[in-house]
A and B are shown apart, each in its own frame.
Chain A
């Protein structure tokens, strides 16, 4: 499948990665090459095959629904680029 620059722009937007307009054609052609490689999968007969959800047959373990952790505000905020008064700070989200 060939990816056009509009699709490349939409994917970049969905991925929340800023791509300048002049970079979009190169990006689109890289996507096309990689998707071309991936499309070999269309040769495989997958009729009646269930998509794999877990590579080992084990059931996912469940833990008891109890509080085991908490009260670590300082540690949680320690690596934040901008933390104020015990909160993560971000640009204005709602008008």
Chain B
């Protein structure tokens, strides 16, 4: 075993079970890699003591011979997940000092399965952003660079720290969350696999809420098999989340046969955007050809309301955020502003929220407040919810016509430079291919499929039928095998 940090979950599991290595060894290797990777800004809270204890316990379980697949696997945890006694700030100043008294369902399940927490990962503040530039901790940086340039590139967002950490082999895998593309866009920007499950598949309990009808947690991993293994441990019914689905969880890894003969793959014409870079167009065509060669039937489909997904999202998500973020009032947790003589409760709220929230969060909370305010509720919020129903209906129709999965590009471009994309609406366009999936509650996966002319990774997205993550993962597995993406960023950090 030369470099333990480069192992996939599956490789590490098998090696630990054979006795070739231990969780303690892999965990140490990851902790050393994290020590040396400060320039990536990926890990923002380090938990080496917790990691050492968990690794030791995991090794005992593995020796006893009844360890689950995730046992002993060192992970990074997005800062959005509440982890008991460990800072959980959602990358926001308003949660400074907050140490939850409870553990999120997802991290509870992962830890029960024996997984090891190395620390908390950078992200956009409250998961609002597509470049990790809204974080109170500062930027996370993409381990990839353009050719021989040293321009710092974004790892995407909001799960930018998760993406950077997995791509740079600081951890074997990471948790992410996805409200409009926050797992899939960063995964594509760094050449890893990211899965957003069906809405309701993974419990939201203990995950700091952004837009509750869209938020869903998922795995960010080095390959498709690892996503299957990690999703298995993350999902399942949770009485603590009223939208958690009470459905049986299939064996996702067992579904990975690579056989997609006879499956029908839809290619939606509306995703062919004006001004789409030729390289993205070519990647998409190549991916289509790969699935066809693997025996799938390719059909052209139409999702007519695609164009309206982003504007609908930028009503619904801010509306829900304005409501969810009302809890940050300086009373129960986190930051409270210093008050002047004579300031009352209203001044306390207003000053606390002005100091604690960054500009993008303030903007979205206020847009949400506006679209929900008397006189505008019907014109904006209700209209957006009707358009959302139409977007979902588009997908329902396509699936009813026999389509098993839909292939699209994951992002409209490769990773861009930090600071290059400062206009809010331009930034929102990053999620143009991913946001429809959240609005329709569907599972979607981003798979690395090639490099652009500057040597940056590009991803393809597969969208599946609700609750059919197993089948989706298998299609992604077939695509992964054909694409044969093995490139890694050259270490500069």
A: residues with CB less than 8 A from B are 7-8, 11-19, 27, 30-31, 33-35, 37-44, 46, 49-56, 58, 60-61, 63, 72, 75-76, 78-82, 88, 90-93
Contact = CB atoms under 8 A, between A and B. Distances in A.
16 contacts: A15-B322, A17-B353, A34-B363, A34-B424, A40-B311, A46-B386, A51-B386, A60-B242, A75-B101, A79-B97, A80-B331, A88-B332, A91-B344, A91-B347, A91-B348, A93-B344
A82 B337 CA distance: 11
A55 B387 contact: no
Contact of A17 (B213, B343, B350): B350
Interface residues of B, number: 72
A64 to B, nearest CB: 10
A56 B308 contact: no
Given A55-B199, A61-B246, A79 B101 contact: yes
Interface string B327-359: 001111111100100011111111101100100
Interface of B: 97-101, 198-200, 213, 239, 242-243, 245-246, 305, 307-308, 310-312, 314-315, 322, 326, 329-336, 339, 343-351, 353-354, 357, 362-363, 365-367, 369-371, 373, 380, 382-390, 392, 424-425, 428, 439-441, 466
Contacts of B388: 51-52, 55
Contacts of A93: 344-345
Given A38-B314, A80-B332, A55 B101 contact: no
A85 to B, nearest CB: 16
Given A15-B369, A31-B366, A91-B345, 10 more contacts: A7-B370, A18-B350, A30-B363, A38-B315, A38-B384, A41-B312, A52-B386, A56-B198, A79-B332, A79-B334
A8 B370 CA distance: 9
B336 A40 contact: no
Given A33-B424, A75-B101, A44 B314 contact: no
B252 to A, nearest CB: 19
Nearest to A74: B101
B315 A41 contact: yes
Nearest to B425: A37
A90 B348 contact: yes
Contacts of A39: 311
Contacts of A79: 97-101, 332-334
Nearest to A80: B332
A75 B330 CA distance: 17
A14 B466 CA distance: 38
A37 B367 CA distance: 12
A18 B308 contact: no
Identify which of A13, A40, A63, A81 gathers the most chain B CB atoms within 10 Å of its CB.
A81
A56 B331 contact: no
Contacts of A16: 326, 329, 346, 349-350, 353
Contacts of A15: 322, 353, 362, 365-366, 369
Nearest to A45: B390
A72 B100 CA distance: 13
Nearest to A63: B239
Contact of A46 (B331, B336, B380, B387): B387
Given A19-B354, A34-B314, A91-B348, A50 B367 contact: no
> 8 closest pairs, A vs B, by CB?
A55-B441, A51-B385, A81-B336, A79-B333, A18-B350, A46-B386, A18-B354, A75-B101
